[in-house]
Amino acid sequence: MSAKVTSIGLKGLEGYAVQVEVQVVEGMESIVVVGLPDASVKESKERVSAALRSLGFSLVDMKVIINLSPAEQKKNGPLFDLAIAIGVLKSADFLKDDVPKNAGFIGALSLDGTVLPVEGMIAAILAAKKLKLRTLFLPFDPSIPSIDIPGLELVYIETIRDVLDVLSGQQLLPFPRIEERREEQQTIDRDFNQIIGHEFAKRAMEIAASGEHFLLMDGPPGCGKSLLAETFRSILPPLSKEAQLEKISLYQLAGAPYTSITLPPYRHPHHSASAVSIIGGGTNPKPGEVSLAHRGVLFLDELGEFSKKTLDMLRQPLENETVTISRAHSTVTYPAKFIFIAAMNPCPCGYYGSKDQYCTCSEKQIKAYKSRVSGPILDRMDLLLSLKAVNLKNHDFAGIESSREIMKRVRQARERQHYRYGREICNGSVPFEELIKKSPLTPEQQKDLQQLSIHYGLSNRVQIKIIRLARTISDLVGEETITDGAITEALTFRKLSRTSTVSLTGEDSGMMYN
């Protein structure tokens, strides 16, 4: 007798249906697994055999053949253990009840029949919804937040015996969940009211947070670049339910810990990190820093110290908001939608152009340092800032705006964008055709922008970024259309002179141009 049970396989964050076909025949006791299983899937036959034996189901004098379909797709991980066990029980006629065709089974097995959580369960749950399954049997994991997906019933179980009870019509008692952790409330470690000066930079960060724009800071050591970047997270709104599930899925697949579910992720890899750790990879490709920063912030400090190869590999995720990792046996794609913030010194010693410190770098050294950041990477940055040290003399320390006040404006601006585009997307990443259709420029604005672009040699990508910035600036003040003032302010973050062949910044304006 043959039996078919549905499970879910994962290819990166994308899930696909796996039909576990089981046939039990008389013969010498053995279990054979086919369908391109990896080592962890092949080992499932020992786990399944021991688990069934511990529950009183012996496979003596039985030959078990297990086929994982589609046969051409590589199967990874112990996700199929539970489905294999149910298929064996049904095929061996130990299970008399029918197994619903629209039900899925995921989970690893312990030798005593306990069903254990596995990596990627959130991704499997989301895949079950796309596959239009009605019921999903899965192990209970208290670390996973409560999930309510319309049209999909999640049946949390502890042992194989629980599955058999449900299939026979019995009801399981719900598992007690730990109360929502208090740290899930928006907590702020650093606040903008602790940063003295840098009003222009704070304004740029508010715009970047509102429209999910990329930002590059240039300045001498100690001027506040890292402090501003670390404080940036405090003005980001909490993650939506969908974004929370995506975040947890990626961290589970990577095996990385996380401290909060609702707070946007903030990743800050060291400049010595390898390209694989940042982009992702491995024999079985795992998410890298760009994917762990999904829906949050990726901050690269000392950008000029990263290898040129690593920086150039960022071009795909910055442009497409995904990263594709190809290996001999598979190709996986992970999401990588993040706000990119970078900081760098103007030269290797850090004091080029400083009025207080002497630069010891030669022009050749400075050129080599700057050349690590390629033109295409600079062209993808929306906001370019040149920072200088703040003179605290005669400075008014009172009345500095807090992160909470800035976050209110950021949230309102994002809500306007979500309403305009009909989905959770911001001006920094919405297709330009849709942005310009919803917010067209006037003929006068188009003419002025073209003249400025010719005068300053702005690329088409930079012109588009100026329009995106102007749309966000208008959203911050509640304007329905892109205003002339918004375009003027957006240009201040790009319009700089090329007075030096080695400097990215214009010394007088305090801004950058590429």
What's the whole-number mean pLDDT along residues 363-376? 85
CA dist., res. 141 & res. 178, Å (int): 11
| pLDDT tens-digit series, residues 280-310 | 988 778 899 999 999 999 999 999 889 888 9
| pLDDT tens-digit series, residues 318-329 | 999 999 988 777
Closest CA to 288 of 307, 310, 308: 310
pLDDT of residue 476: 96
Is residue 497 over pLDDT 50? no
* Cα atoms found within 13 Å of the Cα of residue 314, Cβ hemisphere only: 33
Angle (nearest 5°) at CA 202 between 221 and 314: 65
What's the whole-number mean pLDDT along residues 384-396? 78
If pLDDT is split at 50, 70 and 90, which confidence band does 65 have? very high
Is residue 180 over pLDDT 70? no
pLDDT of residue 397: 63
What's the whole-number mean pLDDT along residues 123-152? 89
What's the whole-number mean pLDDT along residues 231-247? 91
Fold of 2-167: Ribosomal Protein S5; domain 2 (3.30.230)
Is residue 346 over pLDDT 90? no
pLDDT of residue 183: 43
Domains of the chain by residue range: 2-167, 192-390+400-512
Is residue 179 over pLDDT 60? no
pLDDT of residue 508: 35
Q: Which bin fits 221, alpha (ψ -120 to 50), beta or left (φ > 0)? A: beta
pLDDT of residue 507: 36
Higher-confidence residue: 379 or 173? 379
If pLDDT is split at 50, 70 and 90, which confidence band does 187 have? low
Q: What is the secondary structure of 211-251 as a DSSP string?
A: HT--EEEE--TTSSHHHHHHHHGGGSPPPPHHHHHHHHHHH
Is there a contact between 490 and 469 (Cβ–Cβ < 8 Å)?
yes
Higher-confidence residue: 100 or 353? 100
What's the whole-number mean pLDDT along residues 23-50? 92
Residue 499 tokens, joined:
């007075």
Is residue 454 over pLDDT 50? yes
What's the whole-number mean pLDDT along residues 161-175? 88
pLDDT of residue 178: 56
What's the whole-number mean pLDDT along residues 134-154? 87
pLDDT of residue 378: 86
CA dist., res. 5 & res. 452, Å (int): 64
Is there a contact between 125 and 135 (Cβ–Cβ < 8 Å)?
no
CATH superfamily of 192-390+400-512: P-loop containing nucleotide triphosphate hydrolases (3.40.50.300)
Three-state secondary structure string covering 248-306: HHHHHHHCCCCCCCCCCCEECCCCCCCHHHHHEECCCCEECHHHHCCCCEEEECCHHHC
Lowest mean pLDDT among 43-47, 164-168, 173-177: 173-177
Residue 69 tokens, joined:
């379909």
Average pLDDT across the chain, whole number: 87
